[in-house]
Structure 1
Amino acid sequence: MSASKRKPTANSWILFLLVMGACLFIYFQSENVKEKKNVPLPTKLHPVVEKDKEKLIKRAKDKGISIVVTDGFRTFKEQDKLYAKGRSEEGDIVTTVRGGESYHNYGLAIDFALKTTNGDVVWDMQRDSNRNGKADWMEVVAIAKDLGFSWGGDWEFKDYPHLQKDFGLSIEDLKNGDRPPEQE
């Protein structure tokens, strides 16, 4: 029988299917991979986050609650140093993410605490310094949410002082160079 009249064998069908499968896998993988943009990393709080941070402080003060922002923009190196706490360094674990994995690293997050009348900074979630029967902490969280922040206290790993605005961007988006607009 000539080569042109041979019937395909089971092995040739298997080989054909494997090659086609590999081609489809490569095609769909390339479709799902975003091209990384070459944009500089932020070096300070995003302007919208900065503006809303100031609104948060003022609105809390209008309710008789004094707050202080204890952290804002963080470099990858600073994030890695925090990540080391409770792991390779002494102290309690304060974060679950390394540099590049936090919204702080992109200027999109702040941490806050309450400030007492004598100037002490406290993380007392039960404190009611304005004596209205509501915890000051939760009043601040409500103001923050009204300003569009999301709160770390709503997460599985609780981060009660943490507030962030992600502008619909994931950490992967930010790593790939996507940035939120400078204004809302």
Structure 2
Amino acid sequence: MKGKIGILLSWSFILILLSLFLVILYQEKQLEGPHEAFAKQKNEASEPATDLHPTVADKVDQLVEQAEELNIQVVITDDFRSIDEQNSLYDRGRDADGQVVTHAKGGESYHNYGLAVDFALRTHDGDVVWDMNYDGNNNGKADWMEVVDLAKALGFTWGGDWTRFKDYPHLQMDFGYSINDLQNGYYPPHE
């Protein structure tokens, strides 16, 4: 009888350990987003960006078209930026003359991976402005915020919603990838 109880306890212990292992494995898989699983499988084939991601470029075109339908002219003032270009911008107001224009060094901006753009508005006089209160289409709403609403509906994240610092001209599509993911060679697939 004692032998049977010992065997039963041993099997119970093994089943408990196996159950714990499966629970831990399941939880890790739940935390791993689908992009990470894809990127880990395709990491060798992934290449750093040299231009806007095709989906981002398509959504930017849609944004410009939709804004035109509201009689708002959107100007894309910046899109893909190389690491060197990013470092030059970062140096402004620090090691170079001018005002600080970015808090991101090379490799720390979604621009460096083709996943972000900056925009401004063109007035009816042809001037390019960053005036968030400008209402060129005279509908009682700030054109800037109308563009932001259109961008969000297209899947962009707006830098004006950030809590640490505000970047009002900035729009990005990160596809669930963090800067750390991108720095480690994981890039959103191109469709």
Same fold (TM over 0.5): yes
% identical aligned pairs: 58
Q: Deviations over 1:98-134 (max 9, x none)?
A: 0000000000000000001222110000000011100
- State whether structure 2 residue 83 is matched by structure 1 residue 76: yes
Cα distance in 2 between the residues matched to 1:49 and 1:143: 14
In structure 2, runs of 5+ residues without a counterpart are 1-39
In structure 1, runs of 5+ residues without a counterpart are 1-34
Match of 1:181 in 2: 189
Cα distance in 2 between the residues matched to 1:140 and 1:91: 28
- State whether structure 2 residue 107 is matched by structure 1 residue 100: yes
Q: CA RMSD in A?
A: 1.4
Residue 112 of structure 1 aligns to which amino acid in structure 2? Answer: F
User: Aligned to 2:169, which of 151, 161, 164?
Assistant: 161
Deviation at 1:181, TM superposition (A): 2.1
- SS of alignment partner, residue 111 of structure 1: strand
Match of 1:129 in 2: 136
- SS of alignment partner, residue 99 of structure 1: coil
Cα distance in 1 between the residues matched to 2:98 and 2:106: 18
Runs of 4+ in structure 1 over 2 Å off? 37-40
- SS of alignment partner, residue 129 of structure 1: coil
Q: Which TM-score applies when normalising by structure 1?
A: 0.78
Residue 128 of structure 2 aligns to which amino acid in structure 1? Answer: V
Residue 141 of structure 1 aligns to which amino acid in structure 2? Answer: V
Specify which structure has the higher proportion of helix: 2
Cα distance in 1 between the residues matched to 2:187 and 2:67: 29
> Contact (CA 8 Å) 2:67, 2:150: kept in 1 or not?
yes
> Contact (CA 8 Å) 2:137, 2:143: kept in 1 or not?
yes
Cα distance in 1 between the residues matched to 2:98 and 2:156: 28
- SS of alignment partner, residue 90 of structure 1: coil
Cα distance in 1 between the residues matched to 2:125 and 2:49: 35
Match of 1:113 in 2: 120
- SS of alignment partner, residue 86 of structure 2: helix
Number of residue-to-residue matches in the alignment: 149
Cα distance in 2 between the residues matched to 1:136 and 1:109: 20
